[in-house]
Amino acid sequence: MQEILSTQSLNKFFYEPEPFQVLTNISFSITEGEFVALVGKSGSGKSTLLYLLSTLDTDYEGTIRINNTVVTGLKQDELARFRNDHIGFVFQFHFLLPEFTALENVMMPALKQARYKRAQIEERAMDKLRQMQMEPYAHKLSSKLSGGQQQRVAIARALINEPAIIMADEPTGNLDSANSEIVFGIFEDLTRLKGKTIIMVTHDPDFAGRAGRIMELVDGKLVHEKS
């Protein structure tokens, strides 16, 4: 399988209130279609690592390569375009805009990308909602949806630009067990049937255990991998 993401000797420091190294010499590669869980105790550096991989944090030492592009050193406007084209985000908090419908929320990244006409974007967004079994709620305000429904809309939004990688930070952190199971099933289908790569931070050992690969961080170091 083709390599989709790699890191070389990542080091990350925080400087307030005093200098502290949060990530130490992190090197690994991920291939297309992998479902990777980043695990570790609070403060282990896993969410920090995800933010580096997502290009949202550029203050680090080392090199990150995504989809055949070295993203380290790119300008902020270049990174913004790269993220919109290649990376989909799913967070613990869905960050949907409450005054817009589910459909409108899903359409937004594609409207920003401006690669298709609005009618085509709406059709694509409906297809993503259909995949999430959320089509009947397409024209409902996102603020009127349940937590599990909102997270499924957020996943549809993450998929609208057909990104190579989905990066998820505690995607089931605010969900009950039934909705967590739905989200896991969606992620599993995205890797197995759609060939998407998923990199997910989670505290849930059951959720992590069902991923295809587990990477564990302890005190900012990659100490254990399990496939």
The predicted-structure confidence for 43-98, as pLDDT tens digits, reads as follows: 889 999 999 999 999 999 999 999 999 999 999 999 998 998 899 888 766 678 98
CATH number for the domain harbouring residue 135: 3.40.50.300
CB neighbour burial string for 146-166, b if at least 16 within 10 angstroms, e if fewer: eebbbbbbbbbbbbbbebbbb
Residue 200 corresponds to which tokens in the numbers above?
A: 């997910």
Going by their DSSP bridges, the two strands 221-226 and 213-218 should be labelled as: antiparallel
Candidates 107, 203, 102; CA nearest to 153 is 102
- CA 189, 190, 195, 201 dihedral sign is negative
Distances (CA, A) of 60 to 22, 68, 87, 119: 10, 20, 19, 41
In tens, the pLDDT along 12-56 reads 999 888 888 999 999 999 999 999 999 998 888 999 999 999 999
- What CA–CA distances, in Å, run from 196 to 3, 4, 146, 159? 12, 10, 26, 10
Integer Cα distance of 208 and 210 in angstroms: 5
Percent of the chain with pLDDT over 90: 54
Nearest to 32 by CA among 226, 216, 201, 166: 166
In this predicted structure, what is the pLDDT of residue 11? 97
Q: List, in sequence order, every residue forming a beta bridge with 42; answer none if it has no partner.
A: none
C-alpha angle 187-57-173 in degrees, rounded to nearest 5: 35
9: pLDDT confidence band, cut at 50, 70 and 90?
Answer: very high
Residue 46's H or E segment, with its range, is: helix 46-53
| pLDDT at residue 23, as a whole number | 96
Structural domain span for residue 20: 3-226
CA within 13 Å, CB half, 99: 0
Closest CA to 222 of 17, 90, 32, 39: 39
CA 50 → CA 19, 88, 161, 162, 193, distances in Å? 21, 12, 20, 20, 24
Mean of the pLDDT values across residues 152-160? Answer: 90
pLDDT in tens, 172-201: 777 788 888 888 888 888 888 888 999 999
pTM score, whole prediction: 0.87
What pLDDT is recorded for position 227?
Answer: 62
- Count of structural domains within the chain: 1
| pLDDT at position 94 | 66
